[in-house]
Structure 1
Amino acid sequence: MATELLASILLLILSLFITLYTGTIRRLWSHPSPSTSSSFKFPKSYPIIGAYFAIYCNRERRVQWLSDMILNSPTSTFVLHRFFGQYQVFTGNPDNVKHILKTHFHLYPKGDLLRDSLHDLLGDGIFNVNGDQWKVQRQVSSHEFNRKSLRKFVETVVEAELRDRLVPMLASAAANRTVLDLQDVLKRFTFDNICNIAFGYDPAYLVPSLPRAEFAEAFEEAVLISSGRLNAILPIMWKLKSFFRIGSERRLGELISQVRGFAGDLIREKNAQLQQAGDDSREEIDILSRYLMSGRFDEDYVIDIIISFIHAGRDTTSAALTWYFWLIAQNPRVEEKILEEVMEASEEMAYEDVKDMVYTHASLCESMRLYPPVPVDTKEAAVDDVLPDGTRVKKGTRVVYHPYAMGRLAKLWGADWPDFKPERWLEMDESTGKWGFAGMDPYAYPVFQAGPRICLGKEMAFLQMKRVVASVTRRFRIVPAFGRKPVYFADLTSKMKGGFPVRIEERMGS
């Protein structure tokens, strides 16, 4: 008890010192809005502490501030100096991204800092491992993303969640003129979907009463604390708190215990189902069943895998859809074109109908250009290296590519990059007279990563999002219930601070 109290006092004193000392220079080093002018100032670096003052003052808008650096760098790369001579490299240069994610993939694994920061939450799941562990998990998981599984996902899991839960909830809100937090609703929707398709389990999180789900709430808070670890100015601070089990680290331990307990129960229930079903269970199996039936993994390892898939399937897709519906509400021209495409398809929206929604697909790509679900991604150099733009990288240096900034680079998207234009993703097919999708270089648009670690669930995510857009747009208009631009913030994924309150309006004749 005395040790815990002493640690708390020391941390409090250090925090107060930092706050008071940096408060006097906050105005010098904080940049209130993105800038690409000649007057822009890069953060000044000092001996020992590096650019600590600027980092601290911009901690509440870290993603946007780092984006400013990239947008104002001639090479779209800059070096941020930290404590004791350490530094990080941030880049939005497609050549550098390709170097990191493909041509020199083996030299840029998940680093120790990232693994340490996220290990309590993600463990040795697919998003937090390298080498053979990653290869085995990717190989087993890939079976769930074939054409047959994708069709099943759209025509059964997503369709049922839309028909029985999301659409009735929106219809009720429209009839009663109530305000919904669409961000929360979409998280519930995607949580139900990922649990159904990956684990054969329905948590029924999206129901009219919007019940509290202890697991989902514990998971979200654990993500927030883990993200704070990863972005900590002084990682030693969270490590000390973890060692003494105090403050946020004590809370994280409680949350992780709750999350892993839920996952463990899910595994034991699934094992019992598999044993009871015998050989009949091998026809239609989910991701969890594949891992259990392989017999190669212990329970703790499978728990890591479950948690990783929940994070990927829930947080990224709901983040993408949240920002998408806000952008559509600001751009009625685009909404009208999406509605035209939706009305041309059958109301049942079979797999092929969803797949052929070219303009809707383009609008989703355009939305994720401006608001990528994962705004930054971190690697760590395994050896000394030189990036294609000439930036020198020492062994152990964190190298971060920045999709959020890349979506705002005029050199990649033109001077009209602020405009929401799905047409930039389309090209006319002269033989048919119809628009076709024109994909961007994945290293200029690494929203789903690229190279060997490209997202396995990319096509599944698009199918799910397009089905949601079609079902919602056909019948409803989403109207933001506030008169301001939402406040952007990010933990591991992009979010709207305080949620996304909306009113639902029925379309005439729907």
Structure 2
Amino acid sequence: MSIIELLASFSLLAISIFFYLTKNNKSRASSKSDSNLPKSYPLIGSSVAIFGNRKRLIQWTSDLIRNSPSATVVLHRFLDDSRVVTGDPANVQHMLKTQFQNYEKGSKSRRALFDFLGNGIFNIDGDSWKFQRQLSSHEFSTKSLRKFVENVVDTELSQRLIPILSAAAANNAVLDFQDILQRFAFDNICKIAFGYDPAYLLPDLPEAEFAKTFDEAAKISSGRLISVFPYLWKIKSFLNIGSEKRLKEASSQLREFAKNIIKEKKQQISKNSSLESVDLLSRFLSSGHSDEDFVTDIVISFILAGRDTTSAALTWYFWLLSQKPRSGEGST
């Protein structure tokens, strides 16, 4: 490198540092009244605090929101990659309902989740999102699908969940209830989406391969999304090492599994056109949507939507009940 190039590099570096220092000072001055926010530094923002709380990120951000007068905080990350975290119902309604069209997922989110979700509804914007939303909404509004969902859940309750809980109560055994409810939700959503039973909630609590692979792909993908230093996962992906190698393998296995089921469903439908379409996959295929990648993306998104959300809601519900075991103690 020549002397001129070296001086030019130092000049650009000095300008960058000055810019971030100036911006950071303004930011600190404007938020001086909020002492609960983590300390923000030039260039790296609050990455130190975010990294330090990475294993309790939900609890940590919940505490920040709870201690904020506006129930909204802005976390500055590496190279001024800012994230807004809010617990204000009005903000949530504004972003997810009244002005939803103004809040796209964006290219960063799409890149981080593409290997896992592809072009599914949780990873797209605009007309593609609208099309999948209308398609899904139509199917879920049918009485036949609601009846099918009811039958699936009733079977899982009566034949699996209740017997396991009854046996544990009779033997005075301890269960990881959150794990039980995750298994319960996973079996249900796979039957509803694919018409496939992973048999994850059995008395011996097996380690179902499909469930394990799905969980690993979801975990690594979400890790990409919240990574303090996103360049790190991109480098690992380019080199095909570590967690990125495992993600590629898991995503490939999931898609191969899904496409095998799609092929089987197509054969069933072609052999018997009067075959009743009960699960979502059969309904999509019967309505003319035969592109394997398109259908796979939709179904994987629905499994993701119904897995953790249902089990988390049920876990909190029973936790709240446990805090008030007698009705006379007040409502939850």
Shared fold (TM-score, shorter chain, > 0.5):
yes
Superposition deviation, residue 296 in structure 1: 3.7
Contact 1:158 1:193 in 2 (8 A): yes
What SS does structure 1 have at the residue aligned with 2:41? coil
Q: Is 2:169 the partner of 1:191? A: no
Partner Cα separation in structure 2 for residue 293 and residue 150 of structure 1:
14
Partner Cα separation in structure 1 for residue 207 and residue 74 of structure 2:
43
TM-score by length of structure 2 reads 0.83
Superposition deviation, residue 198 in structure 1: 2.5
Q: Is 2:41 the partner of 1:46? A: yes
What SS does structure 2 have at the residue aligned with 1:68? helix
Partner Cα separation in structure 1 for residue 211 and residue 243 of structure 2:
18
- The change in CA–CA distance for 1:325 and 1:103 in structure 2 (over 3 A counts) is closer
Deviations 1:19-73 (A, max 9, x none): xxxxxxxxxxxxxxxxxxx995322222212122222222222222222322233
- The change in CA–CA distance for 1:160 and 1:94 in structure 2 (over 3 A counts) is closer
Deviations 1:415-455 (A, max 9, x none): xxxxx844xxxxxxxxxxxxxxxxxxxxxxxxxxxxxxxxx
- 2:6 aligned residue: none
- 1:158 aligned residue: 153
Letter in 2 for 1:251: R
Deviations 1:383-422 (A, max 9, x none): xxxxxxxxxxxxxxxxxxxxxxxxxxxxxxxxxxxxx844
- The change in CA–CA distance for 1:199 and 1:131 in structure 2 (over 3 A counts) is same
Decide which of 298, 311, 319 is 1:318's aligned counterpart: 311
Decide which of 215, 232, 243 is 1:220's aligned counterpart: 215
Partner Cα separation in structure 1 for residue 169 and residue 89 of structure 2:
44
Superposition deviation, residue 77 in structure 1: 2.1
Decide which of 229, 234, 237 is 2:232's aligned counterpart: 237
Partner Cα separation in structure 1 for residue 157 and residue 93 of structure 2:
38
Q: Identify, as 1 or 2, the structure richer in strand.
A: 1
Decide which of 254, 257, 263 is 1:262's aligned counterpart: 257
- 1:110 aligned residue: 105
Decide which of 301, 320, 324 is 1:331's aligned counterpart: 324
Alignment of 1:19-38 (within 5 A): none
Contact 2:277 2:286 in 1 (8 A): no
Alignment of 1:32-431 (within 5 A): 40-146=35-141, 148-149=143-144, 151-153=146-148, 155-278=150-273, 280-281=274-275, 283-334=276-327, 421-422=331-332
Letter in 1 for 2:104: P
Partner Cα separation in structure 2 for residue 95 and residue 303 of structure 1:
35
- 1:480 aligned residue: none
Contact 2:186 2:306 in 1 (8 A): yes
Deviations 1:349-406 (A, max 9, x none): xxxxxxxxxxxxxxxxxxxxxxxxxxxxxxxxxxxxxxxxxxxxxxxxxxxxxxxxxx
- The change in CA–CA distance for 1:67 and 1:184 in structure 2 (over 3 A counts) is closer
Superposition deviation, residue 297 in structure 1: 4.6
Deviations 1:95-153 (A, max 9, x none): 33333223322211112222211111111111111112112212222233236246514
Partner Cα separation in structure 1 for residue 331 and residue 112 of structure 2:
37
Select the structure with the greater relative contact order (CA < 8 A; seq sep ≥ 6): 1
Partner Cα separation in structure 1 for residue 158 and residue 36 of structure 2:
52
- The change in CA–CA distance for 1:146 and 1:106 in structure 2 (over 3 A counts) is closer
Partner Cα separation in structure 2 for residue 220 and residue 85 of structure 1:
31
Superposition deviation, residue 255 in structure 1: 1.2
When structure 1 is superposed on structure 2, of 285-294 and 111-120 the one drifting more is 285-294
What SS does structure 2 have at the residue aligned with 1:179? coil
Letter in 1 for 2:297: D
Letter in 1 for 2:127: D
Letter in 2 for 1:59: R
Q: Identify, as 1 or 2, the structure richer in helix.
A: 2
Partner Cα separation in structure 1 for residue 106 and residue 305 of structure 2:
19
What SS does structure 1 have at the residue aligned with 2:83? strand
- The change in CA–CA distance for 1:198 and 1:96 in structure 2 (over 3 A counts) is same
Partner Cα separation in structure 1 for residue 122 and residue 324 of structure 2:
35
Stretches of structure 2 that go unaligned for 5 or more consecutive residues are 1-32
Partner Cα separation in structure 1 for residue 200 and residue 36 of structure 2:
47
Partner Cα separation in structure 1 for residue 75 and residue 293 of structure 2:
37
- The change in CA–CA distance for 1:166 and 1:76 in structure 2 (over 3 A counts) is closer
Contact 1:75 1:93 in 2 (8 A): yes
What SS does structure 2 have at the residue aligned with 1:55? helix
Contact 1:40 1:72 in 2 (8 A): no
Partner Cα separation in structure 2 for residue 185 and residue 41 of structure 1:
37
Superposition deviation, residue 89 in structure 1: 2.1
Partner Cα separation in structure 2 for residue 155 and residue 306 of structure 1:
19
What SS does structure 2 have at the residue aligned with 1:204? coil
- The change in CA–CA distance for 1:55 and 1:294 in structure 2 (over 3 A counts) is same
What SS does structure 2 have at the residue aligned with 1:180? coil
Letter in 1 for 2:237: S
What SS does structure 2 have at the residue aligned with 1:66? helix
- 1:356 aligned residue: none
Letter in 2 for 1:173: A
Superposition deviation, residue 155 in structure 1: 4.3
TM-score by length of structure 1 reads 0.55
Partner Cα separation in structure 2 for residue 165 and residue 262 of structure 1:
25
